[in-house]
Structure 1
């Protein structure tokens, strides 16, 4: 029987990659086709499409449960399951080519046949938060780690993939790929995840990357406790040594933030002033 799985997400560029490395260090299986970003591409292949939100609820739940089951205890797929996965190769994607999606799905299908059970497992895909309410409902022990960075800095990030892909849905309109809508999207995500946290207070860990950089030992210890993993002080010090301040900290100070919505700026500043736990 596997332990509680752990998912990691956040707005792109928030620092989720280092948390994926920590999961691996702690013995969590997060996939075997990991790119440099440490994204679990199998999750991306199954759920990284806008029309996932249009899936029939029962059909989506079946696909989610298939993913859960195969990550924990891989087993050969039934013909209908194989047909369902292969059909995903034809779905339009915002960012990746059909060949790339086909490659990822083939990797997952191969894992279902050749993989071994994982006592600890999870995944890291930044936009996991898009489905977080349903994922939490469909796996009663699933834990979620949401990484956030200063919203004002994120407004000026070069990584605006989520804004382009999910922004029109979260903001209910077409978006401009720029700082103003980037911050609006960041605020929308923060509010959604904060709301989910109130419904699942013990299963969602909100981690400020800025706080992690300032005090890695303290926040690594809290994260490890949340994961339910035992590490000695030396291991925690090793993980803490991986946390380095990026050069992009406070990058918003080099910009005229008057182009941003003042209400969004105020909300981001309130978030940044809070210690998220």
Structure 2
């Protein structure tokens, strides 16, 4: 069943992504508070683990448009319908369990089992979204198949991110985006951050008002200014009660500005300059 084709005029999700550790969980919590359905198989960070199962593996970069279409159909069927996956779709998912992975096979087997039983749950009857930081990796493919989708990208200061303990995304994709010389160091972490965001800005040029770039630092420090921008993007009434609800989720992390504890000589100047062009202190 081609859910994508059948619902092409109705499929308009909100997707949330960013480099790992950028604060995407806060945005997922905000959308949940605004009555968005973000999935039933989530981890503590509110990642949609069906999306993780289907799309977070290195081989996805080599997939044809048809393969991405098939995976997206499986994802949409699980999220939007009460119809069970066909045997062919289940076989596709079973094969993915053993792709190049960052976690044990057992973890992905659990995700597959959850997806196979998704039809037993009530289909959504309200706005829907998903949050998975790695969404930006295949954003161009997703937008091509779902022109009405909206995307929120959460961004933290690249210099702070270079010293983050969360380097999982860079570990998975770093060599593909940087090359064989990639190493797990703050230098290459910042380089990955810069490459990802330059790529993102190119992809989103065609998205217009369907793209929202959120500076996480500003969102935490100036919620009274930034939350209305989010509500406007979501077409949610900008009311004091909505703003107050979302403010309650915001707890600025002590890690804002942590780069000041370290020397910047380990970074390429062009990377530092790019961070500054995106509005961050360096």
Q: In structure 1, list runs of 5 or more residues that go unmatched.
A: none
Count of paired positions: 273
The match for 1:148 is: 155
- Which stretch of structure 1 is more off in the superposition, 249-258 or 220-229? 220-229
Match of 1:262 among 269, 273, 280: 269
Shift of 1:22: 0.8
C-alpha distance in 2 between matches for 1:101 and 1:243:
31
Q: In structure 2, list runs of 5 or more residues that go unmatched.
A: 1-6
Match of 2:253 among 226, 246, 262: 246
C-alpha distance in 1 between matches for 2:77 and 2:205:
27
Q: Deviations over 1:174-213 (max 9, x none)?
A: 4111110000000011111111221111111000001111
Matches within 5 A, 1:22-101: 22-93=30-101, 95-101=102-108
Q: Is the 8 A contact 2:77 2:85 kept in 1?
A: no
C-alpha distance in 1 between matches for 2:143 and 2:66:
15
C-alpha distance in 1 between matches for 2:91 and 2:238:
42
C-alpha distance in 2 between matches for 1:80 and 1:38:
29
Q: Is the 8 A contact 2:12 2:146 kept in 1?
A: no
C-alpha distance in 2 between matches for 1:77 and 1:66:
7
Q: Deviations over 1:108-127 (max 9, x none)?
A: 11113434234311111111
Matches within 5 A, 1:104-253: 104-230=111-237, 232-253=239-260
Shift of 1:105: 1.4
Q: Deviations over 1:61-92 (max 9, x none)?
A: 12112312431223111121122112211222
CA RMSD in angstroms, aligned pairs only: 1.6
Q: Deviations over 1:237-275 (max 9, x none)?
A: 12023212101010000001111111101111121249x
The 3-state SS of whatever aligns with 1:206 is strand
The 3-state SS of whatever aligns with 1:252 is helix
C-alpha distance in 1 between matches for 2:66 and 2:108:
23
- Which stretch of structure 1 is more off in the superposition, 179-188 or 239-248? 239-248
Q: Deviations over 1:129-184 (max 9, x none)?
A: 00000101101211100000011111111111111101111113341111100000
The 3-state SS of whatever aligns with 1:120 is coil
Indicate yes or no: 2:32 matched with 1:21: no
- Which stretch of structure 1 is more off in the superposition, 210-219 or 42-51? 210-219
Indicate yes or no: 2:20 matched with 1:4: no
Shift of 1:27: 1.3
C-alpha distance in 2 between matches for 1:72 and 1:229:
22
The 3-state SS of whatever aligns with 1:259 is coil
Q: Is the 8 A contact 2:29 2:249 kept in 1?
A: no
Shift of 1:53: 1.2
